[in-house]
Structure 1
């Protein structure tokens, strides 16, 4: 595949070197098109050496090859990372003052923008309007991450992790539809922990890999994504707003707060059914004899509460649950689907080397009022895409 990597003039330009490496090492042919300002941060020799292609920011170089037209015409994907407020504005208004903006006008392939700028610039009404214009035209604009910016400033505007931008681009290159454009989705991921004392907790083995795969693929299909992450030690999915929680109570509050504005809620997190009845304020000391039993109480049923919320017309249009089972997988899944009142239930078997913490998964998507969809073992992104295929059909 032929990829054009546009680089605009922000301090995050150095991170695009890592994105370029990921593309070239996976076998893609990459042409780097920097702006003049970008070359003040990373020089032309670096881009040429890493890509194996000549680099220019001007339409006047190699005019006989008509680069301002040919580069965009021959691309399978154009990704601009970082995309500054200036480049977003020029792209939205169809300006063509350099090689990158000419390329954006001539490209008829998918275009992905990964913005990076200071928080005030990202939140300015002009930038928000430009982003909306680009999305309406079919471009994928990945929301920036929240974190440390230039100097001591912190907030939304940080370039997402290059590896996460790369994963979104891979989904786009594989031709996934933009059938979630304009939709808001909320995804819970990871596993909750219920404190016993300041040191110990009751938890589970969920890593959050499946939930993050759902977030990554939803962003590639055009959705606005919020992830409620319970104890997940993974880079934030590019384009997703991540809300970090620990316990089931915290997850419940975050999901129910986001659900009324969402079109879809996917409960992929492994939520603890029980919690200790008493949380000790200091570490429980080991004493002679048998330890005291830990009394447990039930946690709220967040999936069932989502169903109740929808019955009040405040809930999402589509609710997706997950069921991790060790035996009688389909029978238990069908019973849970009927009991919870969700639209889809993704059922998978767990155990040693299965599901939790692994890069692959196999599942059956149970559909209320429809035929189940079997997903053979493969990357968790494939399971995610199978889920979104069914969700998109129900939204349509």
Structure 2
């Protein structure tokens, strides 16, 4: 998700500094290049060895080391994003007043990228008027402040002032790093994602291997582009990272059909990324089906075709995007589906391509448009594919 992104992390002297190691790990795991600057007091809580091991980069803790000059300006220009976590009351005060007496502050004053701070301090320090004035000053300067947590503090007191959890801090940075012109502002988009489960009896079902990763990535990309997103999501443990995405959880193909049809008339765009069952059992047993001697035949009937119905109902001011997962005659089958379902374009991927299809974090796709254009893309993360889909949608909407 963060491949190619350059993130500078500042660590200051708080007991919460141990959480910063987890932030480094999560950022590197997501594909970012991470460099770390620390204050002298931060090294009372974490070591340069642990930080450099996790970040795979040198740790900067002073403006000069012997005869070597560490260029804070270069670090400030290098970064796509600067995070200070934990950010103590002392550092917040110095940032707010432009004081520069350590590497973290020098990098802040040199940074031309967005800056986020994750405060960490005792509850009385957090609530003090001077701290709140400094926080408000930083906000007016354009610094984004992560909400402090409530709970047990190092002093033994319980209240506000805990540094936010690493995963919450990482989720805060994604909209900033992927910020883009809000090209989908005012657009209401329905996205289907994940598998459907077709019940046989109270304990068994027919399903498929879809994880929902691709559809969720598209929902997040549309949300970051300003859209009002309604995600109709089949059975999966995965969820979008932002509460602003409306998630409609469903189970079966019939459930997805009813929800999609109900939302479609209110939407500007539909993106159908779900792996919907084509067939469902003709009857569902009330009790568990017991094993019997001999073979067993399972009668199936066709499910309602969500894509065909949305394509049939599509108005001139609506746009519909489909998906085709193929194993043979890929382009021929995708073109036929594009025309039959009245799509504006279709996203084709093949199970014959390594790293594409169900369960992977990557995908290799082609776009086939209604005017006959074909666009090929190399294997890339599903998040990047999602933004390519948004880019194509931008062109169609214009």
Task: Quote how far apart the aligned CAs of 1:108 are.
Answer: 3.4
Unaligned runs of 5+ in 1: 57-64, 85-89, 117-129, 152-156
Match of 1:239 in 2: 242
Secondary structure (helix, strand or coil) at the match of 2:364 reads strand
Secondary structure (helix, strand or coil) at the match of 1:286 reads coil
Unaligned runs of 5+ in 2: 53-57, 63-68, 120-135, 153-163
Q: Which aligned pairs between 1:206-221 and structure 2 lie closer than 5 A?
A: 206-218=210-222
Match of 1:201 in 2: 205
* Maintained 8 Å contact 2:194/2:212: yes
Task: Quote how far apart the aligned CAs of 1:336 are.
Answer: 1.5
Task: Quote how far apart the aligned CAs of 1:231 are.
Answer: 2.3
Give the TM-score taking structure 2 as reference length: 0.63
Q: Which aligned pairs between 1:1-396 and structure 2 lie closer than 5 A?
A: 2-5=6-9, 16-23=20-27, 28-31=33-36, 45=46, 50=51, 53=59, 70=73, 73-78=76-81, 107-109=111-113, 111=114, 168=174, 172=177, 178-181=180-183, 183=185, 185-218=189-222, 225-234=229-238, 236-239=239-242, 241=245, 243=247, 244-256=249-261, 259=264, 262-302=267-307, 304-305=309-310, 308=313, 310-311=314-315, 317-350=318-351, 355-396=357-398
* Maintained 8 Å contact 1:160/1:238: no
Secondary structure (helix, strand or coil) at the match of 1:322 reads strand
* Maintained 8 Å contact 2:326/2:351: yes
Task: Quote how far apart the aligned CAs of 1:365 are.
Answer: 0.8
Task: Quote how far apart the aligned CAs of 1:366 are.
Answer: 1.2
Which has the larger Rg? 2
Cα distance per residue 1:122-181 (max 9 Å; x no partner): xxxxxxxx9xx99xx9x9x9x99xxx9969xxxxx9975677678x48x94xxx771445
Counterparts of 2:179 and 2:225 in 1: how far apart (Å)? 6
* Maintained 8 Å contact 1:307/1:341: yes
Secondary structure (helix, strand or coil) at the match of 2:387 reads helix
Give the TM-score taking structure 1 as reference length: 0.63
> Cα 1:383–1:28, aligned 2, differ >3 Å: closer, same or farther?
closer
Q: Aligned residue pairs: how many?
A: 339
Task: Quote how far apart the aligned CAs of 1:345 are.
Answer: 0.8
Counterparts of 2:326 and 2:368 in 1: how far apart (Å)? 14
Task: Quote how far apart the aligned CAs of 1:266 are.
Answer: 1.7
Counterparts of 1:260 and 1:75 in 2: how far apart (Å)? 47
Counterparts of 2:97 and 2:256 in 1: how far apart (Å)? 47
The alignment's C-alpha RMSD in Å is 5.1
